[in-house]
Structure 1
Amino acid sequence: MRSLEINILGLVIPLGTMLFCYSMIIRTLQHCKNEKKSKAVRMVFAVVALFLGFWAPYNMVLFLETLVELEVLQDCTFERHLDYAIQATETLAFVHCCLNPVIYFFLGEKFRKYLVQLFKTCRGPFLPCQYCRLLQIYPPDTPSSSYTQSTGDHDLHDAL
């Protein structure tokens, strides 16, 4: 019966929540006079379709496992194939967790723009970007120390 609980908590409730929330978003978009609303609607459908495409097979296999546990289905070969199917569909379902950022990148114009801007502000693969402020990077022509007239103090900057 644990498989049935996973079906309800892992597919039915999230799918119901997604359908409700996204239908409210689509309803709001229908009242907008924006030329890009069709892109937003396509993104909503893509998110829901991918969720179903990646999680429904796993939940169907779990449902079949429930039928085996209830002894409705009894076949050793079927149970062995069901074990393989659980492993394969579970992997497929967990891959879905990595796909939402990809969906938003390819379909979301603002997300793509902000991500490109983030990479432009970063100075290298191992150096934090300018917003992190963990490590300040100065151009090579900057002296290693400077004198500020306002305080009369010397500011030392570590050269990288």
Structure 2
Amino acid sequence: METATGEWWEDLVDYFTEYNSSEENECCEGGDVCDLDEGMRFEAVFIPVLYSVAFVVGILGNGLLLGVLFQSRRNWSVTDTFILHLGVADILLLVTLPLWAAQSANVDGWTFGTPLCKITGTVFTINFYCGIFLLACISLDRYLSIVHATQMYTRRKPWVVHVSCLAVWFFSLLLSIPDWILLENMTDDRRKRAECVRDYFKFDEQYARTLKISSRGLYHAVGFLLPSVILIICYSRILWQLRCGTQGLQKQRAFKVIIAVVAVFFICWTPYNIALMVDTVNQNNISSDCGTATSLDKAVTVTSSLGYLHCSLNPILYAFVGVKFRRQLLSILHSMGCKLKTRMQFESVTRRSSVYSESADTSKSIAI
């Protein structure tokens, strides 16, 4: 009798042990507990690889861009000034990527402490917003110059463009204040490792969810929707103006560059914003299952990484396609002793021109 009772008790203990073990790794009815191992393994491989590529390509590309701008600093135009600040913002953002990659690859997660967590997260946010806003400033300047033949910035007052850039940096700094306050090096009990994340429960649990939704809403509105509207309106009007203008190779090049600028921006950032919106809605859905939550985590990870690649593509889109830039780059390489053979034939430019465009200050065309 005692043996039978003992076996029965052992079987019951084994049953509950197995049940509790599976409950810790699988999703229950309300979607509160999920298996996070798969998502962590995915991040540990995907993020370090993609961030490393973005870091290397972006640093090299933006470094060359800044080098060319420095060599031709006496002939800067308005566009060149914006591109200079854009290159600096992209480089500062890219510098933070190795730390985020280390967090994903390391079993212990974030091992750099709270101070560096706040600094890294704040620097990332500042330069993210700054890069987006500078793209909007460039498009607005071209729109006024080409469509309305109006110069927002004149050569007589070069300080105006610098003030505009400083205003962009200051506004981006204001938008990073929540990161400086909320970012903490916290231990995630479910993932069993430390992470540099926003602590929305830092002040009052009652308003934590509202604070998180408001923060994401601010990002969607200011960091994506507003710049998107500016880009679409400005570049669509520019394309229409070029369509009604003179025909020729110059117009075709302008069409290609403008379409590439708009297309790459939306290809890089639209998927991330959609994934983030769906994830926000899903978090408010108490009937959500673990499969959906895991898929959304992967989607946010992949799409955010795609967005960060935009920093690596900016030098190609805003400088490498420019005739003036290629000539300056070849001149620098030649002065360094590099023997280059090229079939490119450049026109002599007698007027002051932009590294990005040889007629950035004109009102009717963009000579790429």
Q: Normalising by structure 2, what TM-score?
A: 0.31
Secondary structure (helix, strand or coil) at the match of 2:309 reads helix
Q: Are the equivalent residues in 2 in contact too, given 1:26–1:41 (CA < 8 A)? A: yes
Which of residues 297, 307, 324 is equivalent to 1:83?
297
* Equivalent-residue separation in structure 2 for 1:24 and 1:115 (angstroms): 32
Query: Who is 2:239 aligned against?
Result: 26
Q: Which residue of 2 aligns with 1:134?
A: none
Query: Hey, what does 2:38 align to over in structure 1?
Result: none
Question: 1:8-157, aligned counterparts within 5 Å?
Answer: 8-33=221-246, 35=248, 36-71=250-285, 74-104=288-318, 107-122=321-336
Change (3 A) 1:118 1:22: farther
Higher relative contact order (CA 8 A, sep 6+): 2
| Cα deviation 1:3-45 (Å, max 9, x = unaligned) | 3332222221111111122234324434543621111111100
Cα RMSD for the two superposed structures:
2.4
Alignment correspondent of 2:26: none
* CA positional deviation for 1:80: 1.8
What is the one-letter code of the residue matched to 2:253? K
Give the counterpart letter for 2:293 in structure 1. Answer: E
Aligned sequence identity (%): 31
Q: 1:14 to 1:4 in 2, by over 3 A?
A: same
CA contact (8 A) 1:4 1:62 kept: no
Contact map agreement 1:7 1:59 (CA 8 A) in 2: yes
- Rounded to whole Å, the distance in 2 between the matches of 1:16 and 1:72 is 34
Bigger CA drift: 108-117 or 91-100? Answer: 108-117
Q: Which amino acid aligns with 1:12?
A: L
Instruction: Flag the structure with higher helix content.
Output: 2
Following superposition, the deviation at residue 84 of structure 1 comes to 2.0
